[in-house]
């Protein structure tokens, strides 16, 4: 079952690196290779904070005029988006990459997708109307900005896409902010919130607390205090998850 609205809101309270710290403890995948973007992203609305949602997927190719002949493309695509569970993040693979010919996103599309339950997009192409998109409450991680839309129409949807070096399946839970994004698998969802909360508390109660409380200590005493806190952090992580944490 998907996470509750309350659980999604709680996940949104932390940045994506904090969610990664929790994910690292519960996943069976490689924490150095899986789930996160492998290429640089740009967050054009960092002031909006993190976004959390389930992936709806789309492929575009703005350079190719013939795609405009696809029958009922807009109607069928919008029906697909509307039918999926929310909140939703639209993950768009731009077939023109590494070129940028035109943007699928702008003031109109962001407002339309917001009405269909989408909170933002991750696209390896471009966006435009960035202020108007922000005003619509529609967050975007993209490669760059551009001026025009060219021949931007839905080409394929509800399919596997690849953006920023990461393959994304429809329905995957995504957490994204100015650092990048993390796409988890369904079997990782249920433990993600509790694991992220635990790891954040563990840092605050051990290594961060020790580092912030070094006033009046000698260098040797400060190092020893931090080392002891690191050991306590590791012990708590092993007790909870049976594995070492970052420290």
- The pLDDT tens digits for 33-48 are 999 999 999 999 999 9
Number of separate domains in the chain: 2
Helix (H, G, I), strand (E, B) or coil at 15: coil
| pLDDT above 70 coverage of the chain, percent | 100
- Do 222 and 119 sit in the same domain of this protein? no
Residue span of the structural domain in which 61 resides: 5-186
Residue 10 scores a pLDDT above 80:
yes
How many of the other CB atoms lie within 10 Å of CB of 171? Answer: 15
The pLDDT value recorded for residue 1 is 65
Boundary residue ending a domain (155, 186, 217): 186
Tell me: the pLDDT tens digits for 104-120?
Answer: 999 999 999 999 999 99
Could you tell me the pLDDT band of residue 2, with boundaries at 50, 70 and 90? confident
Helix (H, G, I), strand (E, B) or coil at 5: helix
Q: Looking at residue 142, which CATH number applies to its domain? A: 3.50.30.40
Token reading at 141: 């991680």
Tell me: the pLDDT tens digits for 185-199?
Answer: 999 999 999 999 999
Residue 247 is assigned to a structural domain of this protein: no
The pLDDT value recorded for residue 246 is 79
H helix or E strand, kind and range, residue 130:
helix 130-135
Residue 225 is assigned to a structural domain of this protein: yes
Residue 246 is assigned to a structural domain of this protein: no
- Do 86 and 42 sit in the same domain of this protein? yes
- Do 134 and 92 sit in the same domain of this protein? yes
- Do 124 and 145 sit in the same domain of this protein? yes
- Do 207 and 88 sit in the same domain of this protein? no
- Do 151 and 237 sit in the same domain of this protein? no
Give the chain's mean pLDDT: 96
- Do 64 and 97 sit in the same domain of this protein? yes
The pLDDT value recorded for residue 83 is 97
- Do 81 and 152 sit in the same domain of this protein? yes
d(CA 188, CA 195) in angstroms, rounded, equals: 10
d(CA 104, CA 228) in angstroms, rounded, equals: 52
Token reading at 73: 């493309």
Residue range 133-162: mean pLDDT, rounded: 97
Boundary residue ending a domain (186, 208, 226): 186
- Do 76 and 152 sit in the same domain of this protein? yes
CA angle 139/15/208 to nearest 5° reads: 160
Whether residue 75 is preceded by a cis peptide bond, meaning omega within 30 degrees of 0, is no
The pLDDT value recorded for residue 4 is 93
Dihedral sign for Cα atoms in the order 58, 73, 109, 2: negative
- The model carries a pTM of 0.94
Kindly report the backbone phi and psi dihedral angles of residue 120, in degrees, each rounded to the nearest multiple of 5, phi listed first.
175, -175
- Do 94 and 202 sit in the same domain of this protein? no
Residue 25 scores a pLDDT above 80:
yes
């Amino acid at each position: 079952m998907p996470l509750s609205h309350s659980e999604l809101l709680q996940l949104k309270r932390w940045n994506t690196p904090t969610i990664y710290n929790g994910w690292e403890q519960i996943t069976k995948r490689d924490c150095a290779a899986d789930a996160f973007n492998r290429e640089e992203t740009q967050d054009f609305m960092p002031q909006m904070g993190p976004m959390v949602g389930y992936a709806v997927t789309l492929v575009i190719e703005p350079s190719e005029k013939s795609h405009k002949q696809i029958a009922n493309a807009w109607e069928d695509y919008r029906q697909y988006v509307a039918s999926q569970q929310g909140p939703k993040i639209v993950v768009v693979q731009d077939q023109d990459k590494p070129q940028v010919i035109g943007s699928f996103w702008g003031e109109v599309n962001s407002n339309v997708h917001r009405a269909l339950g989408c909170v933002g997009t991750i696209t390896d192409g471009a966006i435009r109307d960035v202020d108007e998109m922000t005003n619509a409450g529609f967050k975007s991680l993209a490669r760059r900005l551009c001026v025009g839309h060219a021949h931007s129409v839905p080409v394929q949807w509800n399919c596997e896409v690849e953006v920023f070096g990461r393959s994304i399946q429809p329905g995957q839970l995504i957490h994204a902010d100015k650092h990048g994004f993390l796409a988890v698998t369904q079997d990782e969802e249920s433990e993600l919130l509790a694991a992220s909360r635990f790891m954040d508390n563990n840092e605050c109660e051990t290594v961060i607390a020790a580092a912030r409380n070094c006033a009046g200590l000698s260098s040797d005493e400060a190092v020893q205090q931090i080392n002891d806190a690191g050991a306590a952090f590791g012990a708590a992580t092993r007790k909870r998850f049976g594995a070492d944490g970052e420290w």
